[in-house]
Structure 1
Amino acid sequence: MATSETEPRWSIEIVNENDLVDLLPLMHAYCEFYHQTEQIPIISDDALMGVSRALIANPTHEGIQLIVRDFKERTPIGFATIYWCWSTLIGGRSAIMNDLFICEQYRGQGIADIVITECARQAREHGALSLAWETSIDNKRAQTVYNRSGASKSHRWTLTICFIYVCWIYFDRRTDLQGGRWSNRIRQLPIFRQFVNYFPLKLIKSEDLDSNQNYIFGFHPHGAFSLSALGNFGTDATNFSILFPNIRPHLMLLHIQFQFPFTREVLLNLGVCCVSKDSCEYLLSGKSGKGNALVIIIGGAREMYLTKNDTMILYLKTRKGFITLALKHGASLVPVISFGENELYQRYTCFNLFPNGIVWGRLFAGHIPRRCPVVTVVGKPIHVKQNINPISEEIDQLHNQYIQAVEQLFEVNKHKYSLGYVKLEIV
C-alpha cells in the first residue's frame, strides 16, 4: 500500500459482496477497452458479477479480486484480478494476474505499480510460487508497467502451444516403443556429415546382411557418450544405407531420453527407439517387417564408468537379456566394436573422490570430445535358430559363442586401427 510522508493516498482491499456495486463500472470500462482493441464482445452484468461472486465464495482455490480506492474519499479508481493455477515447471501453485485496470484520470501516478506489489504479496500469502500477467499484445503501456515491476510474461498463445504439444506427447507416447518415425531426409541432413567428419567416424562391414532377417547389433564399448553409435547408426552420415541396403538400424536408448521435449522428435525421426523389452520385441516380432537391426549398447551405464584409454573393458558376462531376445525371435547376433570410442575422452582419478575417475570435457568443457578417429567394425552375424522357450543352458551356450565372436573381432582388427596397445577385458 502506497504511503506519503503523512498518510496513505490509496487503499487496496480484497473485494467482498459490499464492493460489487463500485466494482461493476470498473469492470465495464476494462471490458470496453478490450472490445475496442481486440473486438472482444461486451460481457453482461450478470456474467461479470458471476465471476466476482465465484472468487468471493472460494478465494482459496479460485482466486481473488482487489479494488483500489482513494483513501480519503473512498472513490473506486481501479481493480485487479488474480486467478490461481498450477505449474509443473515450477512444481507448485502459480498466480495469473488476468486483469489490471486503473481509471484514466488516475494513471501516471504509480498506482499500477502499487497494485502489482500488492498482488505479489497476496500471491505469496496464498502459497503461489510465481506471479505472471496477461494483457493485450498491443497494450505497450501495460507491458511497460509489468516489465518494470519484474512480472513474467504469460501470453495466451504461448500457453496454448505448450498445451497442444503436451497433448501431442501424450497421444504420441508409444512411438518410441513401436519403431520410431524414421525419416531418411532427417537421417541424411548435412549437419550429421559435419558431426562424423569432426573425429572422423568410419563404418566398416565384414559381411553382407540379408534384408529378410532381423538382427541385434551388440555395440561395444559404451565409452563416455557412445558418440560413434549415434553417428553410425542414428544417422546415415557414414553411408550405412549403402553398406547394408534395405537394413534399418534402430539405435536403442533408455526411455528417459524420450522425455525431453523436441529432442524426442529428432530422435524418433532418426529411427531411435526405447531399449525396453516391449520395444525390442515389437521390432523383432515382424510387426514392422524384416530388415530391422536393433543396435543395443550392451554394457550400458555400468560400462560407461569403466571407460579407460588403455583397456577396453566390456561389461558383458552378466548381460544375457539380448541373447534371450535373439533366441525367442530367431534374430541374428552381430558383434560391433568401435575402435577409438574410449579415446574420445581422457579419464583421470581425482583425490579418490571419484572412484572411477572423471571425464575431462564433461566437467570443465561441456561435452566436447577430442578429435580422434573412430572406426566402427560390424562383425559377421551369428545366425540363431528360433526357440520361443529357451532354457538357461541354451542361453549360456549362445552367450559364450557371442563373447568369443567379440574377442575374435577385437583381436583381428585392433592392429589395423593403431590400437594394438589396448587390452580387452570382459567383466
Structure 2
Amino acid sequence: MNIEWAPLRVPMNRRLQTLVTAFFTYTFFTLPISSCLAVAILLYYGEMFVRSLLLIYFVIIYLDYKRNYGIMEGNGWLFYRGIRRYRDYFPVELVKTAELPPNKNYIIASFPHGILGTGTCINMSLDIGNWLSQFPHVRPKIATLDHHFKTPFLRDILRWWGMVSVSKESLAYLLSKSNDPKHKDNRDGFTSNAVAVLVGGAKEAMDSHPGQYILTLKDRKGFVKMAIRTGSSIVPSLSFGEVDIFDQVSNPPDSSLRRFQNVVKKFTGISPLLPKGRGIFNYNYGILPHRRRIVQVVGSPIDVTKCDTPDPEYVDKIHGQVIRALEKMFDEYKEKYAPNSKQTKLIIQ
C-alpha cells in the first residue's frame, strides 16, 4: 500500500482550498446523520427549556413546510455561498450555450449525478456568481430529497444554500411562480426560477466511476410531466468531469454490494456509496474529491406546451428531445472538456 503524500511546501491558497473542500465534503456526507443525532442528544439530555424550544422549532418546521414546502424565497444566504475556494479547488466552470430569457421558468435537467453532484451544486447553489453573470434575473435553485426539509437543522442549512425539495408540490410551487417584474415575489429583481433536478438520482450515483458517463434517464419522465404541467422549459445540462473527482468501491449490478445499496435506496431514497478519493495530506486515500476540472455545460431550452394532464405521447416526444439534446451536447463538447475523450462514451439507460 503506497501512500502518495502531499508535499510540505504547498501555496497557502491551495491549502485553504483543500480545507474548505474538506469542510463541504464532510458536511455533505455527515449532515443528515449528525442532524438527527443532535436532535436526539438535545431531547435526551436537554432541560425542559431546551425541549420546549425544540418543540416550538418542530412546529415551525411543520407549519413552514405546509405553507411553502420549506422553500426559502430569494437566493438563500449569499454571504455563505460566496466562498470561491471550493470552486477553485477543482476548478468548477460554467459554460453557456444559449440564452435563458427571464420571462419563463426552467427545469435544468442535470447529468450526471456523480457522487455528490458537485459541479451543479457549486454553480447553482454554493457560489452562484458565475450563474448570475451569465443568466441575469434567473434565480438558480437545486432540488434535493424531500425528507431533508423535514429534518431539523439539516433543512435550515440546505435552505441557506438555496436548495429546495424535489417533491412534486415543491417543484410545482416554484415553477408556477409569476414572471411579472411587478409581482411581489420578484421584488429582488429576479423574474425567473431555474430549478436543477439531478434526474438520475441515487441510482445514477451508484454507476459513477471515473470516465463512465452512465445516465439513468430512459424511464425517468416525471421531470418532463412537471415541465408540461407548469409550462416550464427543460434545459439539458452536462457536467463534464463530475464522474472523475471520486471513484467508489466496485459495485457491478450483480454484486452483493449493489444489491445492498438497492435495498437501502428503496427504503430511504439514499444509496450508501463507498467513495474513494484523496486525503488532506495524501493523494490516493481518503474521501476528499480529487482536484479535477468540472465543466457544467448548460444547453438550449426545450419549450413545451402547457397542459394540466400531459398526453403520454407528448411526454415521450419531449423526453426523446431531451435525450437527443444530451447526446448532441456530449458529442460536441467531450473533446474539449472530457479527459480521454476518445475512450469516453455516453450510455443512457
Please give the TM-score of this superposition, normalised by the length of structure 1.
0.60
Structure 2 residue ranges without an equivalent (≥5): 1-38, 179-184, 262-272
* Secondary structure at 2:172 match in 1: helix
- RMSD, aligned α-carbons: 2.9
Query: What's the counterpart of residue 211 of structure 1?
Result: 102
Aligned to 1:195: 86
Question: 2:82·2:129 contact (CA, 8 Å) conserved in 1?
Answer: no
Question: Equivalent residue for 1:391?
Answer: 311
**Structure 1 residues 237 and 291, CA, compared in 2 at 3 Å: closer, same or farther?**
closer
Give the secondary-structure state (helix, strand or coil) at the position aligned to 1:266. helix
User: 1:340 is matched with which residue?
Assistant: 241
> Residue deviations 1:311-367, cap 9 Å, x none?
200000011111111122221110001101100111342795424884214999774
CA 1:365–1:258 in 2, change beyond 3 Å: closer, same or farther?
A: farther
Rounded to whole Å, the distance in 2 between the matches of 1:190 and 1:256 is 23
Counterpart in 2 of 1:359? 275
Cα distance change on mapping 1:388 and 1:159 into 2, 3 Å = closer
Shift of 1:171: 2.9
The worse-fitting range, judged by mean Cα deviation, of 347-356 and 402-411 is 347-356
Alpha-carbon distance in structure 2 between the residues aligned to 1:213 and 1:178: 23
Match of 1:424 among 338, 346, 349: 346
Q: Which residue of the partner structure matches residue 330 of structure 1?
A: 231
Deviation of the 1:195 alpha carbon:
1.5
Structure 1 distance, partners of 2:161, 2:111, is 21
Farther-moved stretch of structure 1 (409-418 vs 353-362): 353-362
Give distance in 2, aligned partners of 1:236 and 1:329: 27
Give the CA deviation at 1:204.
1.1
Q: Using structure 2 for the length normalisation, give the TM-score.
A: 0.72
Give the 3 Å change call, closer, same or farther, for CA 183–311 of structure 1 in structure 2: closer
Matched, 1:159 2:51: yes
Whether the 8 Å contact between 1:183 and 1:271 is mirrored in structure 2 is yes
Give a deviation string over 1:5-63, Cα, whole Å, max 9, x none: xxxxxxxxxxxxxxxxxxxxxxxxxxxxxxxxxxxxxxxxxxxxxxxxxxxxxxxxxxx
Contact (CA 8 Å) 1:196, 1:237: kept in 2 or not? no
Task: Write the mapping of 1:22-421 to structure 2, written as runs, cut at 5 A.
Answer: 89=40, 154-174=46-66, 177=69, 179-183=71-75, 186-189=77-80, 192-286=83-177, 290-349=191-250, 352-355=255-258, 358-361=274-277, 367-419=287-339, 420=341, 421=343
SS across alignment from 1:261:
coil
Separation in 2, partners of 1:328, 1:190: 31
Could you tell me how far 1:255 is from its partner in structure 2?
A: 1.1
How far has the Cα of 1:254 moved from its partner? 0.7
* Contact kept? 2:75, 2:139, Cα under 8 Å: no
Residue identity matched to 1:89: A
Name the structure 2 match of 1:77. none
| % identity of equivalent residues | 33
Contact in 2 for aligned 1:181/1:268 (Cα 8 Å): no
Q: CA deviation at 1:215?
A: 0.6
Deviation by residue 1:127-147 (Cα, 9 ceiling, x = unmatched): xxx7xxxxxxxxxxxxxxxxx
Gaps of 5+ in 1: 1-87, 95-129, 131-151
Post-superposition Cα deviations, 1:262-293, rounded to whole Å, max 9, x if no partner, equal 23112213331111111111112225564111
- Report if the CA contact (8 A) 1:188-1:236 is conserved: no
Distance 1:328 1:292 in 2: 15
Deviations 1:164-209 (A, max 9, x none): 323332332346626423345x234366312111211111111121
Matched letter for residue 216 of structure 2: Y
Give the Cα separation in 1 of the matches to 2:70 and 2:150.
16
Is the contact made by 2:81 and 2:127 (CA closer than 8 Å) also made in structure 1?
A: no
- 1:70-120 deviations in whole A, cap 9, x for unaligned? xxxxxxxxxxxxxxxxxx838xxx9xxxxxxxxxxxxxxxxxxxxxxxxxx
CA–CA separation in structure 1 for the residues paired with 2:60 and 2:286: 31
CA change 1:175–1:189 in 2 (3 A) is farther
Match of 2:30 in 1: none
SS in 2 for 1:377: strand
Greater RCO, 1 or 2 (C-alpha within 8 Å, sep 6+): 2
Structure number having the greater strand percentage: 1
Worse overlay, 258-267 or 276-285: 258-267
CA contact (8 A) 2:107 2:196 kept: yes
> CA offset at residue 253 of structure 1?
0.6
